[in-house]
Chain A
Amino acid sequence: MNKNYPFATVLAATTSLRNKTGSWRTMCPHYVNLMPPCNAVCPAGENVQQWLSFAQKGHFRQAWNVIVQNNPFPAIMGRICYHTCEKVCNRLHLDEAVNINLLERAIGDIAISHGWKFESVIPATGKKVLIVGSGPSGLAASYFLRKLGHEVEIKEAHALVGGMMRYGVPRFRLPDSIIDAEIRRITDLGVKISCNSRVGNLKSEMNKFDAIYLSIGASKPTKPDVEVRPGSTIIDAVDLFKRLTNEQSHSSVELGKRVAVYGGGNTAIDAARMALRLGAEKVNIIYRRTLNSMPAHEMEIHEALSEGIKILCLRTIKSVDHKEILMEKMNYDEESGILTKSGEEETVTADSVIFAIGQFVDDSIIKNIDGIAMADGGIIGVNECMMTGARGIFAGGDAISAKRTATIAIAHGKKSAHYIDAYLSGKEVEQKQKPDIVNFKKLNTNYYPKIPRINLLPAASISLEERTVALTEKEIIVESSRCLSCGNCFHCYNCYGYCPENAIKKLPDGSLEVDLNYCKGCGICAVECPCGAIKMMQEK
């Protein structure tokens, strides 16, 4: 200070910095990473919020990298996942959920068109793992195990790789090219897959491998209690898809003009829609309970109805006699779940009937293995580490679960891979504490403008080909920008801009930290954080 300046009444700039107002504080802001509801409900444990945050910046490669940390099949799952994430998206309370599924597909497709590969594996452990079955669960397990440095071999009984992704989903929903592209990445990692290679003797395999993962699926169709007279055309949905897939031709499948599908699950819907595409003109789905209680996904039911498929609810099939189906009407109480016969009968005509009332696990492979047993409900029993009663033999996917979706299968593959890795290395699987889930009330939604959701346009016609609608890069950015980033800082800089003390420091890399020297603990940053990523905690 120049001594010519008047004493005390004139001061140089910023001398207040010596006054450390942090001492006033009783509450202290902390940046937290909370659990967005989408991430919380994703069976595969995808970090949806994080990959959306990359996508909205146009960093599609990074977005894809984040997806494949938990799910090696973005393009596949972007088509067939039932996206429970969107049902819990906090944005639903604001306008409409983020179209996560469509974005996953878009990013998955970009990855395929750019030929992006998985990052190379860590050094080899020298351990060998056999995976039985190349469905989503087996493939996912192979991917995670391979990334952990293990040698992996998959044995597949069928001619084609992919399990139910290949055989359980019609091609107009999931084209072969997509399945092939995403599986190729796994084989490129060094996973060996042998098709037409049914494992007959699991015991002998046990000597050759350090661990085995059974992802054998539930491939045997359940036979309904229906009297089928000779001369009737009956086909099982699983067999129908298998034939269509293996023969790569639809000429051999003759369903006729009128088709009935028996069942209420996703397979039934898929079969009915497939029947339409194979030339049927009139397709009836016969289901014993109400429309509301159909296990098939709402979205699929909606699409089927929009294609002209009729659903005959509250009916069971008593018999099929040539082209006549005799049905009995049912009474169903949705609240109690009690289904009773009415005694009233009704007929409908159909050239063929497709049964789609479920599949069960073929347990022949485990019959002579000590320790492994089928649990209630016809599934293979596993402990919390995904291991069966036999040491070193793990299981997952449809074979162990009554909830059979590809997403859950991937989740089992991932989980099992980590437990198998722990088993092989003698380590324990690290149990991470899950952060709190961010609900809508924790958000400050004043900062989120209303933006209409980008949806796929409805198909112009019913086709055997997939609807080829690609989002533009701009659309991907706009739609992923609709993500509220629940519980995770998205660098909106409200805290930095609203701090009356300049006590939020913006670092050169754009990240933020609280300057405890000056933070008075007012809490504005926490209240004005749009996404609830700042928590006020008692000062110690």
Chain B
Amino acid sequence: MSYPTIGGPAAEKKNTNVAHDVCVQSQIDRRNTITSGHRACQGCGEALAARCVLDAAYSATNGNIVVVNATGCLEVFSCVYPENAWNIPWLHSLFANAPSVASGVAAAMHVSGKSTRVIAQGGDGATTDIGMGALSGMFDRNDDVLYVCYDNQAYMNTGVQRSSSTPPMARTATTFPVGSYLGNDAKSGKNLPEIAIAHNIPYVATASVAHVTDLEQKVMAAIHIRGARYIHVHVPCPLGWGIKTSETIKIARLAIDCGLFPLFEVVNGAMTTSFTIENLVPVEEYLKPQRRFAHLFGKNAVPDAIAHIQKLADENIKRYKLLGENAHE
């Protein structure tokens, strides 16, 4: 599949009855749930993805959403007194507790007889590490919350430290390659979407800031479902990954095109691949432009490391049928 433009027709949606023929982000009257003047770094993938997610949810519910935000970049750059970028009801409590807070908000909406939909959001640190217990609890109770994780694969707000979402061999401030140490351990990281699926919740999806139409459609499908839902959004961080501020989308797209970040959707346990790769690229093409992987290239190149990462991509391609149902392996 090629990537649709923002203003192009939205891709056909098979699994759900929510198929908008135009992308919310192309609309002049989109909400801009995060408005201008926020303090995100140039080219921030998270700022963009969060606006896309919430604008879509806003549009799908006629503005009937409230948001709970975990501590992290997103919270810090958006809402520093006296400047607040949010254009929807928004609540920030702590780093670890966004899912629980959202459970409380959802309970409040329920007992108040309101149809307002509750979204909780956080970065990968808040989601896969410190807040995972809370998230698991929220899933377990099937609380009526859509949780969205913006995964930039490290603790960016505190200066790029490793999280359990940091990919193998990546350089972070706490996995700095020295000597034979190649950065983050080869076998490391949690697959939170799969963990979410294991909770048997009604909706789990992965999405990318490089495919806004798909992202929006997943949000629009998920927002109306009752119970706990999870969307894991891949968002490059130019500062933390060492990429050009202009290449946020490009790098996110390469992550999809090399197979390292599969796009899929699981509705009531049934998984479908939402994007088949048209131009498959080797993982090098994704890794090489990123300074966090620079130690794997150049004069001290580590072919084994690249081969290992390629293997991870190949496994994804097979497991999630990223080349289509009938593709040869």
Do A and B contact each other directly (Cβ–Cβ < 8 Å)?
A: yes
Instruction: Point out the residues of chain B lying under 8 angstroms from A528, CB to CB.
Output: 249-250
- For residues 136 through 195 of chain A, which have their beta carbon under 8 Å from a beta carbon of chain B? none
Contacts A14-B87, A522-B245, A527-B250; A19 near B2 (Cβ below 8 A): no
B119 CB, min distance to chain A CBs, angstroms: 16
Provide the residues of chain B in CB contact with A9, threshold 8 Å. Answer: 81
CB interface residues, A 13-68, toward B, < 8 Å: 13-21, 24
Question: Which of B32-40, B102-110, B137-145, B220-228 lies on the face that meets chain A?
Answer: B32-40
CA gap between A521 and B43 in the complex, in Å:
8
* Option from B1, B25, B37, B44 in Cβ contact (under 8 Å) with A20: B37
Chain B residues whose C-beta falls within 8 Å of the C-beta of A502 in the assembled complex: 32, 34-36, 51
**Are B7 and A494 in contact (CB-based, < 8 A)?**
yes
Q: Within the complex, what minimum Cβ distance (angstroms) separates A182 from chain B? A: 36
Does A221 sit within 8 A of B, measured CB to CB? Answer: no
- Select A19's contact among B26, B39, B86, B249, beta carbons within 8 Å: B39
Contact indicator B43/A21 (Cβ below 8 Å): no
With both chains docked as a complex, state the minimum distance between the C-beta of A481 and any C-beta of chain B, in angstroms.
10
Cross-chain contact B37 with A527 (CB below 8 angstroms)? no
Cβ of A469 < 8 Å from any Cβ of B? no
Is there an interface contact between A497 and B6, defined as CB atoms closer than 8 Å?
Answer: yes
Q: Which residue of B lies closest to A20 (CB)?
A: B37
B87 and A13 form a contact (CB under 8 A): yes
Contacts A16-B85, A497-B26; A21 near B36 (Cβ below 8 A): yes
- Convert B31-70 into 0s and 1s, putting 1 for each residue whose CB lies closer than 8 angstroms to a CB of A: 0101111111011110110011000000000000000000
Which residues 65-100 in B have Cβ within 8 Å of A in the complex? 78-79, 81-88
Q: Is the Cβ of B246 less than 8 Å from the Cβ of A523? A: yes
Of the candidate stretches A69-77, A199-207, A381-389, A442-450, the one touching chain B is A442-450
Report B-chain residues with C-beta under 8 Å of the C-beta of A493. Answer: 5-7, 23, 25-26
Chain B nearest Cβ from A465, distance in angstroms: 40
Cβ 8 A contact of A524, one of B32, B43, B51, B52 = B43
B28's partner among A17, A21, A500, A506 (CB-CB below 8 A) is A506
CA distance A383 to B87 in the complex (A): 65
Question: In this assembly, does A11 line the interface, its C-beta being within 8 Å of a C-beta of chain B?
Answer: yes
Contact call B2/A447, Cβ cutoff below 8 A: yes
Classify chain A's interface size.
Answer: 35 or more
Q: Are B85 and A527 in contact (CB under 8 A)?
A: no
Please state if B51 and A500 are interface contacts (CB–CB under 8 Å).
yes
**Is residue B207 contacting chain A, with contact meaning CB distance below 8 A?**
no
Do A491 and B36 have beta carbons less than 8 Å apart? no
CB of A520 within 8 Å of the partner chain: yes
Report A-chain residues with C-beta under 8 Å of the C-beta of B250.
527-528
Q: CB-CB < 8 A to A526: which residues of B?
A: 246
Point out the residues of chain B lying under 8 angstroms from A491, CB to CB. Answer: 7
Q: Does B177 contact A (CB under 8 A)?
A: no
- B36 in complex: contacting residue of A13, A448, A501, A530, CB < 8 Å: A501
- Name the residue of chain B whose CB is nearest to the CB of A525: B246
Chain A residues with Cβ under 8 A from B4's Cβ?
447
Chain B residues, Cβ within 8 Å of A501: 36, 38, 47
B234 in the interface, Cβ–Cβ < 8 Å? no
Chain B residues whose C-beta falls within 8 Å of the C-beta of A523 in the assembled complex: 43, 244-246
Q: List 18 A-B contacts (CB under 8 A).
A: A8-B82, A12-B84, A14-B35, A14-B85, A14-B86, A15-B84, A21-B39, A446-B2, A496-B6, A497-B6, A497-B7, A498-B6, A498-B48, A500-B47, A502-B35, A502-B51, A522-B44, A530-B5
Which residue numbers of B lie inside 8 Å of A, CB to CB?
A: 1-8, 23, 25-26, 28, 32, 34-40, 42-45, 47-48, 51-52, 78-79, 81-88, 212, 238, 244-250, 253, 279
The 5 closest A-B pairs by CB, nearest first: A523-B246, A497-B6, A493-B7, A16-B37, A497-B25
